[in-house]
Amino acid sequence: MLFSSISFLYYFLPSVLLIYFVVPKKWRNLVLLVFSLFFYFCGEPVYTLLLVFSSISDYLHSLFIEKYRGTKKARAIMISSVVINLATLGFFKYTDFFISNINFLFGTDIPLLKIPLPIGISFFTFQTMSYSIDVYRGDVKAEKNLLTMGTYVCLFPQLVAGPIVRYQTIAEELQSRTHSLERFASGITRFAVGLGKKVLLANTLGELGSILGKSDATVLSCWLCAFAFALQIYFDFSGYSDMAIGLGAMFGFTFPENFNYPYISTSITEFWRRWHMTLGSWFRDYIYIPLGGNRVSKPKWLRNIFIVWFVTGFWHGASWNFIIWGLFFGVLLTLEKLFYADFLKRHRIFAHIYTLFAVLISFVIFNVDASYGISGTLLGMFGFGGVSAVSAESVYYLRSYAVLLIIGIIAATPLPKIAANKIFSLAGNGKNAALAIVQPVFCGLILILCTGFLIDNSFNPFLYFRF
């Protein structure tokens, strides 16, 4: 079930909100758990058992880690938790990748298992794994209530696509949450912003990319496709994160931010401080720093960077283009840190162009299926391989979607937020009254527009479901 679907907006969400606020506070976690399991069951009936298994497994592991804290047994139990999580993720996500590469290298004919990928497995395995590690480190106490643990793991707002919420972030709110009309209203507004990003921008940009992908390639169409996908994946994923954060606020949770206008960055280092922030911090705290981070010799530091970026790429998908994508960023980050970080700080206009160009190329790599496709697409963008510069068709699509692309570029910057704050600041003492009028009108308008788009158009993918 997608957040951006009629069934979620008009059936699931009103039902869970109504029951949640009607029942006594002590039953609210149970309501969330039951509805969260139903939410997952609607998309993955069989794999709901996998989600329950993951919750119980790390619940039990954490209890034993705390029981044997300070002993070798605790370390062994923590390793057991990590192994089970990685084995689960590896089996469902990477088995066919390894089989196909073994077949290619050794000429074997091992049949692929063709196992369907459980939705959100990359997210909830990382959450449960970080929980066990944090208990082992002593950062949090083991949760003794299985219902509370299950609510944390299965919480539907962040279950299938993040942000990656660590247990310590919402541990207190799992026990006792504060609800207010103001917080609920801010959650609705944040959800509406995310819904608009997803349905009105990402879906429409995705249609453009789909159309261009089927047309004859020209330099113009290749660049249009690259721009469209870069904007689509940002609005798709950041929109979903906005919806998750908004839903969390409605239920009294404070989820971490996941995006901070990454396309205004002036270096790749800055870009990754702004893009998928919870994933970046996860790899930093659970892989990069334990390996020694940058407090080691230069060869080991370079090793640490490339391990992290290999894993980052591989986490995104069981395909070589994702690994190449991750290592591409690893190379750029290394070059920045070693050679030209100071230059980028002194020449911000050039730095911004360089960053956008590199990110655009990276998403071309990200969006293709194989290394051959990567080279063919990149060569096409620069006119190699007999690709013509323009065609009547590519010019037609540029004209047809120019307004959408301009809107997308502006919406990917802080300008709309700055403008809104400026307008409300002019209201002075009447700011609260203005907000009380504008916010409901804005949310209602977004809901009406998105509903119309969803009813009229069946094109409603979510890119990160495949991860």
276 among known catalytic residues: no
Q: Contact at 8 Å (CB) between 203 and 460?
A: yes
Query: DSSP code of 119?
Result: T
Give CA–CA dist 137/134, Å, rounded: 5
Catalytic residue among 179, 276, 316, 347: 316
Before 163, cis peptide (omega within 30)?
Answer: yes
CA distances 135 to 55, 56, 59, 66, 132, Å, are 15, 15, 11, 7, 5
* Phi, psi angles (nearest 5°) of residue 218: -135, 170
The 8-class DSSP code of residue 46 comes to T
What's the angle, vertex CA 37, arms to CA 34 and CA 38, rounded to 5?
85
* Closest listed residue to residue 29, CA positions, set 255, 253, 257, 188: 253
What is d(CA 286, CA 290) in angstroms, rounded to the nearest whole number?
6
Euclidean distance between CA atoms 409 and 309, whole angstroms: 27
Contact 240, 194 (CB under 8 A): yes
Catalytic residues: 316
